[in-house]
Amino acid sequence: MKGVALLGAAAALALSACGGGYTSITLFTTDWTDDGGKSIDNIRKKLANAHPPPGTDVAVAVAGNSDKLIGQPLGGGAKWTFAHPLSARPVIAGTVVVGSGGGELFALDAATGRRLWSRPTGGLKVRGAGDDGTVTVISLSGSTEVGSTLLAVARDGAVVRQIETDRSLGAPAVLGGFAFVPWNNVYVSAIDLLNGDEAARVVLREKTSRAWTEQRELYFGEIGIFRWDDHIKDAPKNQASHVALPVRELPGSPKLMEPGTDNPGAAAEAPDRIRIYARPTPGEEGALGIEGGRFYATYFKIAMGFEATKGTLTWVHTHGSDLIGGAAGAGGVLLCDEQGHLTALDAKTGGVTADVDLGEPVKGCVVQVDAWTPGGAPAAALPLADQLSTALLNREAQLATAKRLLLRELASLKDEVATKTLVALASDERTSPLLLPDARQALADRRNGERFMREALEHHYDYLKDELRSPPVGPIAQALAVIGDTSAADLLASHLLDTSDSDDDVKHAAEALVKLASADETPVLLQFFSMYRASAPSEDIETAVVSVAQALVKVGGAEGQARVLAAMHDPMTLPNVRERLQSLVIVAPVEPPAAAADGGAPAPAAAKPKK
Amino acid sequence: MRRIARCLSACLLACAATATLDPTIASAKPRKKPVVEAPAALPAGTLEKLQSGDEASIKSALDDVRTAGKSAAGAAPTIADVLGRGLTADLTVAAIDTLGDLESEAASPALASYAVHRSPPVRQAAVKALARTKGPAAVAALRHALSDDDPMVRGIAATGLGALKAKEAVRDLFVALDHKVGEAAASIGQLCSPAECDELAGKLGKLPFDVVTGGLDQVLFRPTSEVDDDQKVKIVGRVRELGTQEANKFLRDVQKRWPATWSPRVKQAIDQGVLATSGVSQ
């Protein structure tokens, strides 16, 4: 039977030397029969009037060479610093900050940075902590690679309880003298700190590795959030008060919470930059929801706000540096960046509501928001299409994954700014190859913003003018053809003769001209048809030749018809082209001009692409 | 009112009520154009072969025209017409080269249209030919070709503009030179006004020496009616001021080629420049 191990490691001895009772070896056994919520209901009734004290609103950053903590109380207190080697991410629990490093575990007053206590640990790292104002319960990595140490320490530094187990314990919370400890992904055990007994256990029907308190309530969760209320006894029947975020695609596939069994290092890593922030609705009455109806996600420099029931994107904030930590609060989210700025963003618009400078770049950051709300109105925020445009036109290559998602969001908007942005993305040589096909497809699917498309078509490759990338002619041609914008016909025709356009782009331009061309385009159509009918260098250009023939038959008058007819019978015309020309049905004009009578009109004057 | 209906086969049924294939049109074979008499230098029937629509005959006729050379310039309009209707890839290049050989301005518009062909070798051939057929259409096409995405096309176009004495293209050539189209320097040297020649000399030290002196060499050997002695002495002085081994080499080369009957004053400046830059190390 697995359970609590005897203290053996040097670190454990160091801890145990300071006292504290030992616990029952029946702790954390899986040889346990589900009691249907009975034991946890007993504890619930016992703690019916117990509520966690308010937590300190504070941001704590790891700075220097991971040897310095900077604390910034959000409620207006003075910034504090605390020098100490750090081997794990500090944890804010209620009104204390718990850190570890240099072979020592320590607790600070979160509001002032004053050291409350410290204890030797022999290198164990903090995973999570809870605090009820008198006792701090901390889960630490075990003295070996597996297992955990659970420690309850009073304000004076005395160890109230110490438990070592080969189980991997999650992040604990404390309430009314009981430590609530998630473990084995599905259990939360209530451990009586007076005697160390497991007073109750509840099985939760969703992966759970964290217990925490906020806004004077107790919660459990990881994938979703369970509330400690009268329904907790129904958790085995999957009827506890619970809320989860809607399933939706997010860049980097972040989770609501990282597992409480992880040992995050002091410095932020990729998962800290790819995060979700949300917090439950306050109070223990009513259905559990997500506060403000909003949740937030970050992806390096991008922060996004989402509506919490359907997951609809509502705003995008493009930041100046990577966002590495934060917390959701009332009315928005507070984010910490690696340049040492705390930025509060409005829940509804993403507008900045507060910005605080910690004074130096930081390596890691944790934030606790309990009652704090930013004062003042948010800065004016642009419409969503413009916000998306800003994010998408950011040159950061690292953001390509997020940009793909944002591009799809942009493509779903009817705002003409979306077309403008897609044109810019598809035209920019710096656009990531990951993003380019999506941008081109989205552009082809647009049904507005023709003026931006026409503006783009006015550009051609021009070596001397340093215009070294052709516009996205193909997608624009597809869109304009569906829209039926005949005013773009001359521009599209000019791209038939642009040697820098891709064969695919030329093919689509030719297809669009079948619908959009007028007699004005005849010279260019004739030139293109003649040049390539017998020497098209690719299948795309062969297809373009056939499309141009269709356009010529339609708008090229007798001369156009005659040229196409002659080509049908000319053995030099490429076989593929000739065969497809046969499918064209041509009706004679009423008054065939004399030039057509000989089956070969004069060669057209050379047309050139517009510069 | 549109009298022409066109449908793809896919929509043939839908269009059937109105769009009928007109047999008189659909079966129409192109009628032969009235045969123009072949230039005397060409074998009889050459023009008919050019218009035959038969690949081998056209090739053979083009060979005959090239053999006849400029004396067959009268065939240029026919070749230009055939080219304008479209040929196979091989015949296209052969026709373009032939038109270049004929040096007939009448061919320039047809050649200009091939200066925007998707195949770089075709564009290179067209631009090269345009430098020989001359005329406003050729100049316009070559100026346009300076912006081509193919470096060879740009280089040939720059050289061609010099050969065409296209002074109106000098500003374009300067831009091309600044965009590493080295061939532009020589053309600028052939065409520049005094101020523009100074501007070219000002590129010494900024652009590769060989590139700039490729243009200055042209300036120095232009007749006095175009570039006076003062200008030439000034340019020799600019090169001399560099004081480098390559400057010495350039000046020595100019010294060797300087015609004995040309300006003694410029000759003296060159001689002094050679002396002044002798013995310098790079």
Identify which of A583, A599, A606 has the shortest CB distance to residue B31: A599
Distance to chain A for B12, nearest Cα, Å: 8
Q: Does residue A607 carry a pLDDT above 60?
A: no
Separation CA A377–CA A18 (nearest Å): 51
Beta strand extents in A319-464 (DSSP E only)? 323-329, 332-337, 341-346, 352-357, 364-368
In order of A513, A561, B22, the CA distances from A597 in angstroms are 26, 11, 15
CA-based nearest residue to A345, from A389, A384, A378, A387: A378
Nearest to A148 by CA among A67, A305, A27: A27
The pLDDT value recorded for residue A375 is 82
Give the Å distances, CA to CA, from A49 to A217, A219, B268: 11, 16, 111
Q: What are the chain A neighbours of B94 within 8 Å (beta carbons)?
A: none
Query: Cβ–Cβ of B22/A587 closer than 8 Å?
Result: yes
The CA distance from A585 to A434, in Å, is 42
CA-derived radius of gyration, chain A? 34
Q: Which helix (H) or strand (E) holds A477?
A: helix A473-483
Contacts of B91 in chain A (CB under 8 A): 534, 572
Closest by Cα among A482, A456, A481 to A471: A456
Q: Contact at 8 Å (CB) between B55 and B66?
A: no
Residue of B nearest to A553 (CA): B6
Averaged pLDDT for residues B120-135: 97
Give me the residues paired with residue A297 across strands: A276, A304
Cβ A291 vs Cβ A386: under 8 Å: no
Q: Is the pLDDT of residue B8 over 80?
A: no
Token pair for B149? 């995405």
Residue B175 has pLDDT above 80, yes or no: yes
Average pLDDT over residues B219-242: 96
Burial of A380: CB neighbours in 10 Å, binned 0-12, 13-18, 19+: exposed
Nearby residues of B38 by Cβ (< 8 Å), 6 or more positions away: B44, B45, B46, B47, B74, B75
Tell me which chain B residue has its CA closest to the CA of residue A467: B147
Which of B4, B9, B52, B82 is the best residue to mutate to test the A interface, defined by the most A CB atoms within 10 Å of its own CB?
B4
**Residue A89's closest CA among A344, A275, A249?**
A275
B155 neighbourhood in chain A, CB within 8 Å:
none
Domain covering A270-368, topology: Lipocalin (2.40.128)
Distances (CA, A) of B250 to B182, B190, B211, B263: 17, 18, 12, 18
Residue A144 confidence (pLDDT): 65
Confidence bin at A598 (pLDDT 50/70/90)? very low
A28: left (phi over 0), alpha (psi -120 to 50) or beta: left
Provide the 3-class DSSP secondary structure of residue A199: strand
What contacts A49, CB < 8 A, 6 or more positions away? none
The Cα of B161 is separated from the nearest Cα of chain A by a number of Å equal to 16
How far, in Å, CA of A447 to CA of A445, rounded? 7
Q: Report the side by side order of strands in the sheet with A313-318.
A: A274-277, A294-299, A302-307, A313-318
* Phi, psi (rounded to 5 degrees) for A220: -130, 155
As a whole number, mean pLDDT of residues A148-171 equals 95
Between A141 and A100, whose confidence is greater? A100
Residue A256 has pLDDT above 90, yes or no: yes
CA–CA dist A334, A374 (Å, integer): 9
Q: Write the DSSP assignment of B179-200 as a string of letters.
A: TT-THHHHHHHHH--HHHHHHH
Provide the sign of the torsion angle of the four alpha carbons A392, A396, A397, A402, taken in this order.
Answer: negative
If you average pLDDT over residues A47-53, what whole number do you get? 94
Q: What average pLDDT does this structure show over B27-43?
A: 57
The candidate with the shortest Cα–Cα distance to A464, out of B205, B168, B23, B154, is: B154
Task: State the average pLDDT for chain B.
Answer: 88
- pLDDT of A586: 64
Phi, psi at B94, each rounded to 5°: -65, -40
Rg over CA atoms, chain B: 26
- Candidate from A503, A506, A561 with C-beta closest to B25: A561
Do A65 and A81 touch, CB atoms closer than 8 A?
A: no
pLDDT, chain A, mean: 91
What pLDDT does residue A228 have?
Answer: 97
* A376 or A438, which is more confident: A438
Q: Which of A102-111, A263-272, B29-38, B75-84 has the lowest mean pLDDT?
A: B29-38
Spell out the residues 6+ positions from residue A599 whose beta carbon is closer than 8 angstroms to its own: A562, A565, A566, B28, B29, B30, B31
Helix and strand totals (H; E) in chain A: 16, 29
Cβ contact (<8 Å) for A499 and B149? yes
Interchain CB distance below 8 Å, B89 and A535 = yes
Distance CA A453, CA A471 (A): 9
* Residue A84 clears pLDDT 50, i.e. is over it: yes
Confidence of residue A75 (pLDDT cuts 50, 70, 90): confident
CB A117 within 8 A of CB A153: yes
Does B137 sit within 8 Å of A606, measured CB to CB? yes
pLDDT class of B46 with cuts at 50, 70, 90: very high
**Which residue of A lies nearest to B34 if distances are taken between CA atoms?**
A598
Confidence of residue A189 (pLDDT cuts 50, 70, 90): very high
Q: What is the mean pLDDT of residues B45-68?
A: 95
CA distance B265 to chain A (A): 39
C-alpha distance across the termini of chain B, in Å: 77
Instruction: Tell me which of A397-401, A420-424, B180-184, B223-227 is least confident.
Output: A397-401
∠A586-B55-B50 over CA atoms, to 5°? Answer: 90
Residue A497 pLDDT greater than 70, yes or no: yes
Give the residue extent of every domain in chain A.
Answer: 270-368, 487-611
Mutation choice for A interface testing from B6, B105, B127, B156 by most A CBs within 10 A: B6
Rounded to the nearest angstrom, the gap between the alpha carbon of residue A193 and the centroid of all alpha carbons in its chain is: 40
Whether A403 and A431 have beta carbons less than 8 Å apart is answered as no
Tokens of B29: 């074979």
Instruction: Quickly state the pLDDT bin for B281 (edges 50, 70, 90).
Output: low
